[in-house]
Amino acid sequence: MSENPYSRSRPLLSLVRQPLNLVGAVVAIGWIFFAPDYRVFTVTTGLIIGVLALGVMVMVGWAREINLAAAGVYATSLYLGSWVYRPGPNGWGHPLVIAIVVSVVIGILMMLAVALFSVRLSGVYVMVFTLGVQILVERIVFTQYRLTGGDQGLVTPSPKIFGYEVSSHDDRAFYLFVLSVVALVLMFLQRLRLSPYGRAIMLVGADQQAAVAVGVRPLKTKALAFAVCGALGGLAGILAATLYGSTPGTVNYTATTSLLWLSIAILGGFDSMAGVLLVAVAFQYIPLQLEKLHVNYQLLAGISLLAGVLCGSRGLGGRLQDLYRRLRFGPAAQRRSRRPSSFTAAAEVLARSDGLTELREIGPSDDVRQLALETLESWFPPRRTEPVALATEDIHLSFGGVRALRGASIEVPTGSFTGLIGPNGAGKTTLFDVVSGLTRPDRGTVRIFGSDVTRDQPWDRAALGMTRTFQTTRIVKELSVADNLLAGAGLRIRGSLAQFAVGMPAPWRQVREAEEAAWAIACLLDIERYWDERVGELEFSARRRTELGRALLSGPQILLLDEPTSGLDPASSGALIGLVRRLQADLGLTVLLVEHYVKAVLDGCDLVYVLAEGQILAHGEPGTIAADAQVQERYLGAGRGEATTGWRERLADPAGAGNRG
């Protein structure tokens, strides 16, 4: 399949192709030749704070964890880094590059220490923990006057780059120096953002269970986000030390300052690096211009926090991006209509969103389907040939006094389409959680292709070829369909963070292959026309298929589907089950399906298990299950005096007995 025009596999080229970025670069360089010195100095200060705020953006916007220790990390790196760079007797006199490395390492170590103790926490607990770190820094580091210089400060030499001294008294030269550092930071973050590491951070931040289902290690991934935040905080600290020439007073870096810098990242938005930088510069520039009105940093912080909440997680930068896209390309519906015609599906789709009265089929035309399957043939790993793909043996699990599973045992043949049905509370999702590793059983065994994985973590099971979807849709609403799909490709891409950061061709070539596979899957699921649309703006069926596509992009051998039609109307439910059945055959998958729409299960599955009260009530071919008297009485609702046609009619109606699973 040809490379689509919305490629994300060339991060820097994608930046250059955007006209607003080019205009911004020209303005950022050209304005200093007309501005007075004090304004250049103010904007330089804002850019340095912007570097730190970009790190906060990664932790808060991508990983969804609140950081109130930013000022402490910044100040610690500033004081220790300047000590390393400053000549004796009040320093060690090492080259600037050594001081930069030390400052960055200090920031990383501080935030990794935070991650070590708090990464298993979430939400308000991480916020409180980072606030505690900030207070410790204020009580320990800030009291070391030999290090901070107290009220008098300590003189720090101007930076020397390749033997050339960039004097802090030459505002324009120093501005260009800082601007070049900012450009390098933006290059790094753009590559991180579009690499498997960046997408993993965002997926973990949005939903850890969805992340582990496609092989992401949540603790390691969150630690990476913390480390990036610390590294940029440390870098900003040493830049500030060389800018000011004399170490600033510690009163500037209290917990209130951390809150101020948090508000910069929130207002700027989690997916707009330019927005974060502009807000950081504005926070320095506006108080200078409105000094007579007594506008200070604290007032700006309060306003920006309120404005950031009103703008949503995408912030002011995201809203401006939406406005720009609307002005240039028109409304979202109009943009979708301009998708390349060669990949447009011929089937009738999306009854809810497109106004069709009946949805009969989801999927592409035959030609597009063939091209997509040819692309995916090289993406998916070789299919396993063991006779049994998945098995559970005598699974028992209790929650307090409630026995959720009582010896549940199933065998899913390789290459089969197996259904698992049962009434509400039967333990179907609980069994799924045990199989996927989200819950550990009290006793029993789980095997994947004959290997005992009972004690394995969910991401290890994903690496063996098993992934799942969830009863409630787990997607990152703020990201596009493309980014949501590519978040599932991490297991199939090899390359270290350093290789992605420096732009080595081999790992980025794999990203390009992943994008081609994602485009093929999008075509098979008929969501390619939403390729660069945010998932949160799509109708429910498209969101469901996006989550399914992300699972498929991980290259699974075994696909667990937990009520994929939940929330869909009968026509859409039948169409989606039919699509999954076709994908299962085309891609050689083994599928285990939990579904409340019993008719679709009996019509589409090769093998059906009935779970009731934590035990397997019956299993066999769909016809055998439908005729089983015990199943009819205990699950389908046909008592002894009811005609056979009664329960068959109820099966045809998802609002009836068949909807009780």
Question: Hey, what CATH topology would domain 11-325 get?
Answer: ABC transporter involved in vitamin B12 uptake, BtuC (1.10.3470)
Average pLDDT value for residue range 130-158: 89
- The answer for 331, left when phi > 0, alpha when psi is -120 to 50, beta otherwise, is beta
pLDDT, position 168:
67
Give me the percent of the chain exceeding a pLDDT of 70: 87
pLDDT in tens, 358-380: 434 566 778 888 999 999 999 99
Each domain of the chain, given as residue ranges in start order, spans 11-325, 388-659
DSSP β-bridge partners for residue 452: 447
Average pLDDT value for residue range 619-638: 81
Question: How far is residue 92's CA from residue 312's CA, in Å, rounded to a whole number?
Answer: 46
| Average per-residue pLDDT for the chain | 84
pLDDT in tens, 23-63: 888 888 888 888 888 899 999 999 999 999 999 999 999 99
Using DSSP bridges, classify how beta strands 590-594 and 417-421 pair: parallel, antiparallel or unpaired. Answer: parallel
pLDDT in tens, 319-356: 777 777 777 666 665 555 444 433 333 333 333 333 33
Q: Helix or strand or coil: residue 166? A: coil
Query: Do 431 and 611 touch, CB atoms closer than 8 A?
Result: yes
- Per-residue CA distances from 393 to 175, 387, 408, 432, 439 (Å): 67, 16, 7, 14, 15
pLDDT, position 639:
44
| pLDDT at residue 14 tops 60 | yes
- Residue 49's nearest CA partner among 201, 252, 209, 220 is 252
- Main-chain phi, psi angles of 409, to 5 degrees: -130, 130
pLDDT, greater one: 640 or 29: 29
Query: Do 110 and 293 touch, CB atoms closer than 8 A?
Result: no
Q: Which two tokens stand for residue 438?
A: 């989200």
Q: Where are the beta strands (DSSP E) in 582-641?
A: 590-594, 607-612, 615-620
- Residue 2's nearest CA partner among 519, 537, 462, 635 is 519
Within 13 Å, how many C-alpha atoms sit on residue 125's CB side? Answer: 7
- DSSP-derived letter for residue 87 is P
Question: How far is residue 228's CA from residue 51's CA, in Å, rounded to a whole number?
Answer: 11
pLDDT, position 80:
94
pLDDT, position 435:
95
Same fold, 11-325 and 388-659: no
What does pTM read for this prediction? 0.89
Cα angle, residue 206 at apex, residues 307 and 123 outer, rounded to 5°: 70
Kindly report the CATH number that applies to the domain delimited by 388-659.
3.40.50.300
Residue 244's CB is within 10 A of a number of other CB atoms, namely: 17
Question: How far is residue 247's CA from residue 157's CA, in Å, rounded to a whole number?
Answer: 11
pLDDT, greater one: 503 or 120: 503
| Cβ-proximal residues to 374 (8 Å cutoff; 6+ apart), any chain | 1
pLDDT, position 637:
59
Strands laid side by side in the 388-399 sheet: 402-413, 388-399, 443-448, 451-452
Using DSSP bridges, classify how beta strands 388-399 and 402-413 pair: parallel, antiparallel or unpaired. Answer: antiparallel
Question: How far is residue 87's CA from residue 104's CA, in Å, rounded to a whole number?
Answer: 20
- Residue 422's nearest CA partner among 660, 84, 221 is 660
- DSSP-derived letter for residue 159 is P
Chain centre distance of CA 304:
25
Residue 486's pLDDT band (boundaries 50, 70, 90)?
very high
Average pLDDT value for residue range 303-320: 76
- Per-residue CA distances from 457 to 206, 215, 434, 439, 454 (Å): 20, 10, 11, 10, 9
Query: Do 345 and 522 touch, CB atoms closer than 8 A?
Result: no
pLDDT in tens, 217-260: 999 999 999 999 999 999 999 999 999 888 888 988 999 899 88
pLDDT, position 151:
77
Indicate if the alpha-carbon torsion angle 490, 495, 496, 498 is positive or negative: negative
Rg (CA), the chain: 28
| Cβ-proximal residues to 13 (8 Å cutoff; 6+ apart), any chain | none
